Amino acid sequence: MARHECDVLIVGGGITAAMVSEKLSELRPSWKIIVVEAGKRLFDFDRRFDYRQRNLDYGENQWPGDFVADQGGRGIISRSMAVGGSALHFGGVCNRFSEEDTRLRSLYGLATDWPIEWKDLEAHYCEAEKRIGVSGEPGPLKEDSRSQPYPMPAMTMTYNLIQLKSWAEKSGIPFWTTPQAKNTVDGYGGRSRCHRCNTCEVCPTGARYSPDWTYKQLLTKKKIELHDQTLVRKLVLDEHTPRVVAAQAVKEDGSDPNVEYRAKTFVVASGYCWSSHLLLLSANARFPRGLANTSDHVGRYMTGHLAHETRIDLDLKIYPGMNEQHSLISRQFFRCAPDRPFVRHDLRVWEAPSGGPRLRDANGTVLLGDDLVADWRTRIVRGSARVRGYFDVHPDKDSRLTLDPANKNKWGDPLPIIEHRVDAATEARQAATLQHFQELFAQLARANDGKVGRTSSLGYQDHPSGGCRMGADPSTSVVNPFGRTHDHDNLFVVGSPTQPTGGCTNATLTFVALALRSTTEVAKG
Amino acid sequence: MNRRDLLKSLAAAATLPALTASDLVAQTTDFTPAQIATLRALAEVVLPSSLGPDGRDDAVRRFVTWVRGYKPGADRGHGYGNSQLSAPTGPSPAARYPTQFDGLDTAAKARGGATFAALTLVARRAVVEAALNDPQRVTQMPARPNGANLVADFMGLYFNGADARDVAYNAAIGRDTCRGLDDSDKAPRPLKAH
């Protein structure tokens, strides 16, 4: 039985934990910080070209072994479980939410307000962008003003994006490029400049931020200890007080089924799924519904956002494949006039192939060689854009993560089920939201003799968050505005679980900013 | 990885060695010389003529290399937003090819040729079309070779690849190549004529 003592134990080894441990090691250099992660450390950067190639050629996992086989569940649950977490795979898009996200109740009478001021969050966005290394250009809307410039210049717009921007703006909607956690200059954060490999989910050159960079730097400088392949199963309270005194864990390889961590402060940084899961698993006689769960809000208000998407054929010549990950964004629809029907969303435009090779023509005749190429060319004369908007949906209280007694891991712990459910107001406006998007797609198409394809809708809530929402009122939230649990003063939950609502654009930068804000509080002890 | 190592690995990844016909056979222990000859004859029928002999040999080499490099039971990870792990890769498609190579030769004999490779281009085309219709009508090229139909597998590996897209667009897009950001704001240059 191994026993470890530290000042701060961080449970989880993803991007949130990376940022918290980095900042905490700066604020409290004398503290002993241990990061515990159930998955492996995949620090074999020199093999990423091989992994990328195997993925392109054979569809093999570009992050081999980045999961724990029996640590799954039901619902939208990312299987990525390794040092770096889901951010190993992320495309690097670093959009911010907007002030409206934090004031939904005040502005629109919907969902809830966040218990923090936008100005405060904005300052932490700047910090997150510096730590991750974000390249971007400021948008033209005054509502999106920034207190600091992006750390790096924006990613070069490809020829394709230049054409698409020219088209899209004819509709009267301003577009610019998405900010990216990718180097546009050499050396930022020790990483190389983007080589435009077109496989950002596994960046073989290290231009795209990945948390393993942070962990490796912290380990080299001996700022933290990293215990990988160690699954924390339960947090244990002091016998007489509500303070957490220990975390009980197992080595995933079975070499030690009784690992114990004792710490002054515990930080759960296990993402939107496993954070609530651990609190629920830690139920005891005094907290029978789980730790931090006096309010019965742990695992509730699970959230995210939905999307509508289409393809628009355009009278444009583009060359798909120049940089398929990079896109345009308009934030014009982040704002919704309070006297208008509520719909908030981002709007993204990507290059897209307008037609691919086919074996038979419309009559069923086999196409070979030059005939096949000639047929293909007839279908790529016009360009194509992929257009998608993530839109704001709000969770019902019963949008939940619960424990599934019928599905257990090898240690006998019930695994999570996540059942997303939107609130009644969201449900009531679904048809109007769809109509809004269809009209918007048509408006874009009209700007260039375009033809709108079928509108498809995302069947699940993307960029999930929630489950331990923050709030000032302990009866309706799990943590305070800094991530400190209402029930246990030395237990924090940080990052995506604390979001009361899921916004209408990619969420990584937001939950990193929230976690950095929490870290200042963690450092107070 | 420092910049020098990075550039070295980028160059290694991007460069394919020049290939001779004998190299082709020598590298393919699991394809017989006759099968390689069949693939080369097949390439003449199903690939764009603009590739020329070198380009076709390269496509054959890629197919052979792909088959040789296939790993049954490999980790395929997990789809985005999917709580289930993807099933590992299945058995190698290679085991299903010998009878299909034989089938092409058998069809060739029915047309008076000694082998598929010995047929005229027109006759080979007829055999290929028959192979795509019988015993099962193939409607599309697989995303990756799966062994179900040798001809479709060979075509799919090429036409779904970045090189074929460049041919279709007559532009050096280089979708799967690490290309750097410089000049990406300009249209890709046209392909050089063979």
Residues A461/A423, Cβ–Cβ less than 8 Å? no
What Rg value do the Cα atoms of chain B yield, rounded?
A: 19
Q: Structure tokens of A160?
A: 């394709």
Q: How remote is the C-alpha of A271 from its chain's centroid? A: 9
Residues 6+ apart with CB under 8 A from A345: A333, A334, A389, A390, A391, A392, A437, A504
Taking the Cβ of residue A321 and every Cβ of chain B, the question of whether any pair is shorter than 8 Å is answered with yes
Among residues A316, A306, A326, A327, the alpha carbon closest in space to that of A384 is found at A316
User: How far, in Å, CA of A192 to CA of B24, rounded?
Assistant: 37
A211-220 helix and A15-27 helix, angle to the nearest 10 degrees: 30
Give the model's pLDDT for residue B194. Answer: 55
Q: What is the pLDDT along chain B (194 residues), one digit of tens a residue?
A: 444 444 444 444 444 344 444 444 444 448 999 999 999 999 999 999 999 999 999 999 999 999 999 999 999 999 877 789 999 999 999 999 999 999 999 999 999 999 999 999 999 999 999 999 988 999 999 999 999 999 999 999 999 999 999 999 999 999 999 999 999 999 999 998 65
Taking the Cβ of residue B48 and every Cβ of chain A, the question of whether any pair is shorter than 8 Å is answered with yes
What digits encode the pLDDT tens for the residues A387-425? 999 999 999 999 999 999 999 999 999 999 999 999 999
Selected residue of B139, B169, B177 to mutate for chain A interface (largest A Cβ count, 10 A): B169
**Quick one: chain B helix, strand, coil %, rounded to 5?**
50, 0, 45
Distance of residue A105 Cα from the nearest chain B Cα, in angstroms: 29
Give the model's pLDDT for residue B10. Answer: 44
Taking the Cβ of residue B141 and every Cβ of chain A, the question of whether any pair is shorter than 8 Å is answered with yes
Among residues A187, A130, A129, A185, the alpha carbon closest in space to that of A156 is found at A185
Q: Structure tokens of A504?
A: 């209408």
Among residues A187, A205, A395, the alpha carbon closest in space to that of A302 is found at A395
Residues A234/A290, Cβ–Cβ less than 8 Å? no
What digits encode the pLDDT tens for the residues A147-192? 999 999 999 999 999 999 999 999 999 999 999 999 999 999 999 9
Whole-prediction pTM: 0.94
Taking the Cβ of residue A205 and every Cβ of chain B, the question of whether any pair is shorter than 8 Å is answered with yes
Taking the Cβ of residue A43 and every Cβ of chain B, the question of whether any pair is shorter than 8 Å is answered with no
Selected residue of B2, B56, B65, B80 to mutate for chain A interface (largest A Cβ count, 10 A): B80
User: How far, in Å, CA of B159 to CA of A454, rounded?
Assistant: 26
Do B184 and A319 lie within an 8 Å CB cutoff?
no
Taking the Cβ of residue A37 and every Cβ of chain B, the question of whether any pair is shorter than 8 Å is answered with no
Do A319 and B171 lie within an 8 Å CB cutoff?
yes
Inter-chain contacts counted by CB atoms under 8 A, chains A and B = 178
Give the model's pLDDT for residue A425. Answer: 98
Give the model's pLDDT for residue A72. Answer: 94
Give the model's pLDDT for residue B13. Answer: 41
User: How far, in Å, CA of A113 to CA of B117, rounded?
Assistant: 73
User: How far, in Å, CA of B174 to CA of B177, rounded?
Assistant: 5
Give the model's pLDDT for residue A59. Answer: 97
Q: What is the DSSP letter of A422?
A: B
Give the pairing type, strands A3-11 and A33-36.
parallel
Residues of chain A with pLDDT under 70: none
Do B173 and A65 lie within an 8 Å CB cutoff?
no
Length of chain A in residues, anyone? 525
User: How far, in Å, CA of A300 to CA of A276, rounded?
Assistant: 9
User: How far, in Å, CA of A194 to CA of B46, rounded?
Assistant: 36
Of B6, B66, B141, the CB nearest to A359: B141
Q: Structure tokens of A36?
A: 């515990």
Selected residue of B8, B75, B137, B139 to mutate for chain A interface (largest A Cβ count, 10 A): B75
Q: Structure tokens of A484?
A: 């400190």
